Amino acid sequence: MANAARVFAALNDPTRRAVLERLRAGPKPVGEIARGLPVTRPAVSQHLKVLKEAGLVDDRSQGTRRIYQIDPNGLGALRAWLDQFWSDALNAFAAEAERAEKKEKE
């Protein structure tokens, strides 16, 4: 599952940011993404894997090719952020509920 740390780790790399920039114009296969980038095609595939695991891009098959696309609304990042937010919030809530419960018992 995507989380904020993973999203921002994924973004903290100039090549991966360049890959995302290219996908903003529309879905593309790996070869087209790699064209003009100063890294090998297998390296681009590896970067795409990291971006996919972070929920920032998605892929689908088209014949023998794999087409990558970005979420145009940035919802992957938003969702990751909310995921982290609710984790933090629920932990804080549980701590407060248990603290108050103990106090009442005393």
Partner 1 sequence: MSTQIRPAPVRKSIFVDAPQAHAFEVFTDGIGRWWPKTHKIGGSDLDKPVIEPRAGGRWYQLSADGSECEVGKVLEWNPPARVLLAWQLTADWTYDPDLITEVEVTFAPEGSGTRVDLEHRHLERIGERADTMREAIDSPNGWGLLLRLYSEASAE
For residue 22 the two structure tokens come to: 């290219």
> Are 19 and 33 a contacting pair, CB within 8 Å?
yes
Residue 29 to residue 99: CA distance in whole angstroms: 54
Of 34 and 76, nearer to partner 1 (C-beta) is 76
> Are 28 and 70 a contacting pair, CB within 8 Å?
no
> Are 7 and 76 a contacting pair, CB within 8 Å?
yes
Q: State the nearest-atom distance from the C-beta of 46 to partner 1, in Å.
A: 21
Q: State the nearest-atom distance from the C-beta of 99 to partner 1, in Å.
A: 9
Of 40 and 93, nearer to partner 1 (C-beta) is 93
Binding site for partner 1 (CB under 8 A): 4-5, 7-8, 11, 17, 24, 26-27, 55, 58, 69, 71-79, 81-98, 100-101, 104
Of 39 and 94, nearer to partner 1 (C-beta) is 94
Q: State the nearest-atom distance from the C-beta of 17 to partner 1, in Å.
A: 7
Residue 60 to residue 27: CA distance in whole angstroms: 10
